Amino acid sequence: MVSRGDLIELELTDITHGGDALGRHEGLVCFVPYGVPGDRARVRVTEAKSHYVRGELLEVLAASPHRVTPPCRHFGRCGGCHWQHIAYPQQLAYKQRIVQEQMARIAKLPDVPVRPTLGMDEPWHYRNHVQLTPDREGNLGYLAARSHDVVAIEECYLPHPLIEEVLASLDLDYPGLRQVSLRAGTRTEDRMVILDVEGDEPEIEVDDLPLSLVLLPPEGALRVLVGDDHIHEELAGRRYRISAESFFQVNTDQAEHLVRLVREALAPTGGERLLDLFCGVGTFGLALASQVRQVIGVEESEGAIADAVENAEGLENVELWQGSVEEAIAEVEPGVELVVLDPPRAGVAAGALAALIKLAPQRIAYVSCDPASLARDLRILADGGYEARYIQPVDMFPQTYHVETVALLSRVNLEKQ
């Protein structure tokens, strides 16, 4: 019987969706953060349940061939990265395996083709948006792994150099600061500092860098202190306005691949109507507008849809609706051939999927940042008459277990089933 505090030795043999390595001890599954399949490890049991245990890695007795030395001094305490200790090509292989496992286990679609993960040539310094939290002494950092404690950072290998420059020059003196967000247009060099505060306006210096400074008070509207309430970014030949609170992909280079993959999956010929659900600032629908007859974009966020309207200027075949996806689908006239789905991590609500199945588009490109919610939704779509043709993982988040995917679904002839 394994108990909390026990020391055990085990071989790690697999990786999980949450990023932990996995082994077995006395018939129990053991989850080990910062392990690598192929390691033989000494582990302290931190949680013991009837069917699994969780452990803390104390010592690597024999290292996996895929284990590497993490470059960051904060790795293992900071919760921002999970896989700096795994060689990058193997990170890509694990992400493909995770998607395959979720499709088999949750979606019950073990035969859907999952392509090799599309990685980056340089898997560092890619994030165009970071969020930092001050510790009790006012030092900025990231939340610790599985904790609300803040790890003050002296270095970070994920932010884009434009953000690193702002971070290095930032001098904040304000006890009511709750969070700092830094955003950048990596192709326009626009930069923004967003301060989430309680109380009065803070004192801030940024060494005369050209940027916008925005205040998010606990109540009331966002306030612009310097510059604009938005930045711009260029993607797939278009320029996008992105307001302080609007979502945009955090990895611009990989987002370029997402647009290409969606275009290839839907294969528009010029005469189709395209429904872009969870359209945000218009990333996918506007990029495809010149290749279809009509685009209808739907987004619940008032700020993001305002950005999308600005970004759609000059495109006469684009309609943009602000509201819930489920309600909007019910209002769409029949005859939509193509759909883009780009939901948040939680996936698509069951009612919205039911409405989409009733609308009966021919092809759906589903862009997901969570393989588990994707698998759940693909099962529903499969039961509603759609076949998952393939899934293409894209590494939007190197050094973490997170993986983006583009899945192509096509409607099958139900009469022949």
**pLDDT tens digit sequence for 106-153:** 999 999 999 999 999 999 999 999 999 998 888 899 999 888 899 999
Q: What rounded mean pLDDT belongs to the chain?
A: 94
Q: Which CATH number fits domain 89-121+251-416: 3.90.1640.30, 3.10.450.750, 3.40.50.720, 3.40.50.150?
A: 3.40.50.150
Q: Give pLDDT, residue 7.
A: 95
Q: Give pLDDT, residue 161.
A: 97
The string of pLDDT tens digits covering residues 270-289 is 999 999 999 999 999 999 99
- pLDDT exceeds cutoff 50 at 416: no
Q: Give pLDDT, residue 201.
A: 65
Q: Where in the chain are all domains bearing CATH 2.40.50.1070? A: 129-232
CA distances from 322 to 223, 307, 317, 344 (A): 23, 11, 17, 16
The string of pLDDT tens digits covering residues 237-268 is 999 999 999 999 999 999 999 999 999 999 99
- The residues, any chain, with a CB within 8 Å of residue 114's CB and separated by 6 or more, are 96, 99, 100, 103, 390, 391, 393
One-letter amino acid of 48: A
Q: Where in the chain are all domains bearing CATH 3.40.50.150? A: 89-121+251-416
Secondary structure of the chain as H, E, C letters: CCCCCCEEEEEEEEECCCCCEEEEECCEEEEECCCCCCCEEEEEEEEECCCEEEEEEEEEEECCCCECCCCCCCECCECCCCCCCECHHHHHHHHHHHHHHHHHHCCCCCCCCECCCECCCCCCCCECEEEEEECCCCCEEEEECCCCCEEECCCCCCECHHHHHHHHHCEEECCCEEEEEEEECCCCCCEEEEEEECCCCCEEECCCCCCEEEEECCCCCCEEEECCCEEEEEECCEEEEEECCCCCCCCHHHHHHHHHHHHHHHCCCCCCEEEEECCCCCHHHHHHHHHCCEEEEEECCHHHHHHHHHHCCCCCCEEEEECCHHHHHHHCCCCCCEEEECCCCCCCCHHHHHHHHHHCCCEEEEEECCHHHHHHHHHHHHHCCEEEEEEEEECCCCCCCCCEEEEEEEECCHHHC
d(CA 20, CA 307): 38
Q: Give the CATH number of domain 129-232.
A: 2.40.50.1070
pLDDT band for position 417 (cuts 50, 70, 90): very low
Q: Where in the chain are all domains bearing CATH 2.40.50.140? A: 7-67
Active site residue 81: no
Residue of 30, 72, 156, 369 with catalytic role: 369
- pLDDT exceeds cutoff 60 at 362: yes
- pLDDT exceeds cutoff 70 at 182: yes
8 A C-beta contact, residue 270 and residue 276 = no
Unique residue bearing structure tokens 């069917």: 51
d(CA 329, CA 325): 6
Tell me how many degrees the CA angle 241-404-184 measures, rounded to the nearest 5: 30
- pLDDT exceeds cutoff 70 at 360: yes
Q: Of 285, 411, 297, which is closest to residue 359 (Cα–Cα)?
A: 411
Q: Give pLDDT, residue 116.
A: 98
Q: How far is CA 152 from the centre of its chain?
A: 23
Q: Give the CATH number of domain 7-67.
A: 2.40.50.140
d(CA 237, CA 188): 13
d(CA 225, CA 244): 13
8 A C-beta contact, residue 253 and residue 219 = no
Q: Among 62-66, 217-221, 366-370, which stretch is predicted with the lowest mean pLDDT? A: 217-221
Q: Give pLDDT, residue 102.
A: 97
Percent over 90 (pLDDT), the chain: 85
The string of pLDDT tens digits covering residues 373-414 is 999 999 999 999 999 999 999 999 999 999 999 999 999 964
d(CA 5, CA 7): 7
pLDDT band for position 236 (cuts 50, 70, 90): very high
8 A C-beta contact, residue 379 and residue 108 = yes
Q: Give pLDDT, residue 46.
A: 95
Q: What is the pTM of this model?
A: 0.94
- pLDDT exceeds cutoff 70 at 203: no
